[in-house]
Structure 1
């Protein structure tokens, strides 16, 4: 301040002479508030009242910036600092001095600043992409000025990075300045440091695939609140929500008080954006936090298990029931809904779908009961009937209850009465009915159910012409039903049609579509199914290629990686039998070893099958190469397989 406003210099000097401890770094018992009073407020006020014109104030008040106030360790000192600041401005309302404070929403800070005379600006809705763009522009400009390689490239090829790549980079960074710095350093790493001859232009595409590398920060920050009540539920909820909710909505969904949610989140503001009010959604500073929380190998004790979708689905049903019990007219006016009830209406089915594999019978029973109670309040609401049908069908698939299957089919037919041919949701209701018949067929093997499912899927497909967003799903459903019929009847035309359907589904799911790996897997399977009776080698070759691509899209620990590995083990084995090319056998062995080590641990239902497959593959390799070490591996695998077979037969 003395440099900017020389008129304050003698007053600052006098204060330091009178109290030398003001400049001691160890504090020496002098509080922040005292330092501000003696070194800032008093000298500034004395200079202003000195009667001379101060050049620094010619264009407006003098601005002091206090950045990251929440990062101060001593909360009491921070509160005292704010109180002293407010008292100074109360006593000197016309003084040309302003203080600009940046801070996360800590309660002990906000409660002191939420007073007249203080302007609070919530930046939660401020998109930092523009700031990241400015930051990167400055970095790239400076680097271009000093780097002859970049200048030469620009001379030959024009602007670098190109605008489109720069936009992709900003999107990938996701608002994190820490990550932005890391990415930039990676792009500009010298060839000596990186051990690679790659230029910055070569590294830019690689940077777009970089993991932010923030796992350590995430774990360290989350640990601050892990001891607090409801911590696991709150963090899992934020990680698994289909759309962000405010703190009040999270609390309502979990059935707890809002202050308990805030109590957990205030310690996590380095990684989670917590609004200053209860009606603005809680968001993540970077999308990689969700990836961290949903990947067990990375997050460990903070892992948001997919089973939490069951809890969220049940809570959605409870919120829906409570809302409909107390809010008359809410059925037709979604704007009257509280955040959690509005969320439940829109997203409960997503949690049902993602948690369906993790339900226990008691949870299915609770879900059915809640759906029935809600439907009892609005018996003619098709969306409630449809939800009950879906839950009942999932319970039927879990228990095998034919009564539940019949009930699910009956409810799905009832929904169709509300959705005539012109209704936009008719195809969705027809699809639910088709799936119910298809699920019952898997239990009863009644061909009438399968024929009905195929007929309904065809009707759905007609209602979903291009570019309908659900067309790829229906193509896969119909293709699967035709495969089922082929397995019963051996009709090759069903396989031909299924291949055509799955090909179209793959085309409708280009990279980076999240379900592309599923469609690749489906097409690979049906091509292999045609190869078996026909011996068409091209089908087997294409099936292997498709399963390889699917595997690349399912890195560990992807939940469906196991199925791509298993498909490759089978198809590569068959290709080896045809070609006797050792590379095919070696690849099959590698995939089977991963299956056993990472996906079929002791106690897994498929471990015995995988043990036998791997032993068989190693035996073939031994026969082909006389690789002695395979002998011991084969003996160990067969011994465990015999032990498992004995246990299975005795139980």
Structure 2
């Protein structure tokens, strides 16, 4: 038997894995081009924090949960971090979920894809042969449970490779990182929880030269698993906070680029464009998140229109055309709201009417005002943590643009708090002023002031 034949035989498992992997989910997949990434000179602090985390071996932070509201820039940060890790030969694998995609929207290919990339990486060494032999000896592992896959395809091979390296006295300098982005875009909430449990249970009480970065919206069912027994002691949460400075930097740079690239229609427009006051207003509207700013830039950068006229539409001083400048943003908000069960939507619409009124009320106030049962507001809004801030006493929005969305019937559609909802809400306010007793629950059955 020749050496080449032996080598081909050893790599038979890799060929099996290759067909089971989702190449479209790689961070550098051609299908994802152009990949979202952080604009130069933005997000530097959070990227530095991620790099520092990836260099440590503390078992209490084997997993980092990068979370933030819809449109906060999680995927851009994950993409930029992958590129940084790759340049430093520290990227083990990446998987970017995409909602509704047959390949990247399910969990069936997640761990085979990660195992395939780990086998191709150079660090830690010996993984290629170990993973290939594992799949070759037991191809059915690709159809088994998620927990068995992560243990057999990732954790056990990494442990074996580590033992081989220790025997040779070749110690890995730094852990390699596995990046999983958009977990909330996987096909079901139960599967999302199963993925987290599988990872948490597999790495428990294990020292491995591996780090997992998992990026998602702060959905309640995901938050519950991170707070539960399998991940509570081995993960570190990192919230993507607002950054008005980064959004300002991004807008200034992008407007300068547009001025240069649209030279035929912008030749007579003097720099700096637009005026600093306009940029300040846009930064305020963004609430410090990139989704609003990037949507604006895409709208203004259309080569078939004059940038100055498109900006006037954004600022509300020009004639609007048939194309919505916030189409992508509206689609995002609608996608989140439409996931609320049909049976709860009438109650949701009443609560959205209160939010649109900008009265700054807490949960108890809203329940009393709308004559709901205690806990009804939290139940109706349970799936909206990515657009509403419910951590404190008061109910607030993450993005000021969401209030603009609610205020426009053409943008919010079925979720628009229309005249009937606003009239009913006004009647509830008048009814509240007519109550005789301080306790609202007594007023529901007791007499009111004449």
Normalising to structure 2: TM-score of the pair?
A: 0.55
What 5-or-longer segments of structure 1 have no aligned partner? 23-27, 326-364, 370-651
Q: Is the Cα contact below 8 Å between 2:330 and 2:405 reproduced in 1?
A: yes
Report the equivalent of 2:427. 310
Report the equivalent of 1:5. 123
- State the shift of 1:162 in Å: 5.3
Report the equivalent of 1:233. 350
Report the equivalent of 2:69. none
Q: Please state whether the residue corresponding to 2:242 is helix, strand or coil.
A: coil
Higher strand share: 2
- C-alpha separation between the residues in 2 aligned to 1:315 and 1:103? 40
- C-alpha separation between the residues in 2 aligned to 1:33 and 1:312? 52
| Residue-by-residue CA offset, 1:424-467 (whole Å, 9 max, x unaligned) | xxxxxxxxxxxxxxxxxxxxxxxxxxxxxxxxxxxxxxxxxxxx
What 5-or-longer segments of structure 2 have no aligned partner? 1-91, 93-117, 317-323
- C-alpha separation between the residues in 2 aligned to 1:142 and 1:40? 44
Q: Please state whether the residue corresponding to 1:266 is helix, strand or coil.
A: coil
| Residue-by-residue CA offset, 1:156-196 (whole Å, 9 max, x unaligned) | 95555554443222223445644433321222221xx33xx
Report the equivalent of 2:227. 114
Matched, 1:207 2:314: yes
Matched, 1:283 2:396: yes
Q: Is the Cα contact below 8 Å between 1:105 and 1:274 reproduced in 2?
A: no
Q: Is the Cα contact below 8 Å between 1:253 and 1:316 reproduced in 2?
A: no
- State the shift of 1:139 in Å: 4.5
Show the 5 A alignment for 1:202-601: 203-209=310-316, 212-213=326-327, 214-225=329-340, 227-229=342-344, 230-243=347-360, 245-247=361-363, 249-257=365-373, 259-269=375-385, 272-275=387-390, 277=391, 279-296=392-409, 299=412, 301-304=414-417, 305-307=421-423, 308-315=425-432, 321-322=438-439, 368-369=449-450
Matched, 1:41 2:148: no
- State the shift of 1:113 in Å: 1.2
| Residue-by-residue CA offset, 1:317-351 (whole Å, 9 max, x unaligned) | 769812899xxxxxxxxxxxxxxxxxxxxxxxxxx
Q: Is the Cα contact below 8 Å between 1:293 and 1:303 reproduced in 2?
A: yes
Higher RCO structure, 1 or 2 (CA under 8 Å, sep 6+): 2
- C-alpha separation between the residues in 1 aligned to 2:122 and 2:369? 53
Match of 1:68 among 169, 182, 185: 182
- State the shift of 1:261 in Å: 2.2
- C-alpha separation between the residues in 2 aligned to 1:127 and 1:293? 22
Q: Please state whether the residue corresponding to 2:180 is helix, strand or coil.
A: strand
Over 3 Å counting, the alpha-carbon distance change for 1:249 and 1:121 in structure 2 is farther
Q: Is the Cα contact below 8 Å between 1:172 and 1:208 reproduced in 2?
A: no
Show the 5 A alignment for 1:21-170: 29-49=143-163, 50-51=165-166, 52-54=169-171, 57=174, 61-92=175-206, 94-115=207-228, 116-119=232-235, 121=237, 123=239, 126-133=241-248, 135-136=250-251, 139=254, 147=261, 149=263, 157-160=270-273, 163-170=276-283
Report the equivalent of 2:99. none
- State the shift of 1:242 in Å: 1.4
Say how many residue pairs are matched.
308
- C-alpha separation between the residues in 2 aligned to 1:320 and 1:105? 39
- State the shift of 1:117 in Å: 0.9
Over 3 Å counting, the alpha-carbon distance change for 1:318 and 1:234 in structure 2 is farther
| Residue-by-residue CA offset, 1:533-592 (whole Å, 9 max, x unaligned) | xxxxxxxxxxxxxxxxxxxxxxxxxxxxxxxxxxxxxxxxxxxxxxxxxxxxxxxxxxxx
Over 3 Å counting, the alpha-carbon distance change for 1:216 and 1:78 in structure 2 is closer
Q: Is the Cα contact below 8 Å between 1:187 and 1:204 reproduced in 2?
A: yes
- State the shift of 1:114 in Å: 0.7
Q: Is the Cα contact below 8 Å between 1:231 and 1:264 reproduced in 2?
A: yes
Q: Please state whether the residue corresponding to 1:102 is helix, strand or coil.
A: strand
Normalising to structure 1: TM-score of the pair?
A: 0.40
- C-alpha separation between the residues in 1 aligned to 2:191 and 2:436? 43
- State the shift of 1:140 in Å: 5.2
- RMSD of equivalent CA atoms: 4.2
- C-alpha separation between the residues in 2 aligned to 1:298 and 1:163? 28
- State the shift of 1:82 in Å: 1.8
- C-alpha separation between the residues in 2 aligned to 1:141 and 1:16? 52
Report the equivalent of 1:18. 137
- State the shift of 1:368 in Å: 4.2
- State the shift of 1:316 in Å: 7.0
